[in-house]
Amino acid sequence: MYDGAVTSGTRDEKLGIEIRVAVTHQFKVLFDVDLETKPLIWIDSDCGLKWQHTFEWNPEHDEIIRRLARVLTPLTSRISVLSNYEAQLVRINHWMKHAHPGVRVMTPESAQGQEDDIVILDFADNRCTPLAINESRLKIALSRVRELLVIIGSFDNFISCYHEDDIKGNILQKMVQRLAFEQDDDCVVVPASSILNCEMMVP
């Protein structure tokens, strides 16, 4: 993946094909989106962090993850949700442990040494900050996935973040080069509205 800059997890090729075909079918049925069994799905959401009491979190991303979990958990028990924002993880874990107890919710650092069939990476904050888009954490997240990576965040903001000198890096450079203008053969971009407006995905 990404010209050898990142090595993904150990694969069971037959199982991997089954998972990707199943995910592709689900997205085709629900959103009329043809993934062509691609290993990277980008859920394009421009929603940023919102204040609630004493912390910030992203309610739109939280709802997207709820709906994704409803669709993806029947396909495999090996799913993890990663984010750099502790408050976001606390909110997600609060309902996830009851609705889908097998899904692991953690920071990229906590995921080191672990692998899952499907990894959902939530940027949470769509601003160009070192915490929101961090090269080392991004590398960890990318290397945890065996079959399918789902990224939730602003596609355009991620592309523009590459031009910020303080967070420019090798992994970001390779991702931007491959994702810019949606020309990446391994990626499909799905509008957040497709997820949020789908009545069949209401948890």
Residue-wise pLDDT for 12-54, tens only, equals 677 777 887 888 887 777 766 676 666 788 898 887 666 666 5
pLDDT > 70? residue 179 = no
pLDDT band at 181 (very low <50, low <70, confident <90, very high): very low
pLDDT for position 93:
94
How many other CB atoms are found less than 10 A from the CB of residue 187?
19
| Residues 95, 40, 188, 178, Cα dihedral to 10° | 130
> 30 in helix, strand or coil?
helix
CA–CA dist 136, 156 (Å, integer): 21
pLDDT > 50? residue 134 = yes
pLDDT > 80? residue 136 = no
What is the set of domains in the chain, with CATH numbers?
13-191 (3.40.50.300)
pLDDT for position 100:
93
pLDDT for position 94:
92
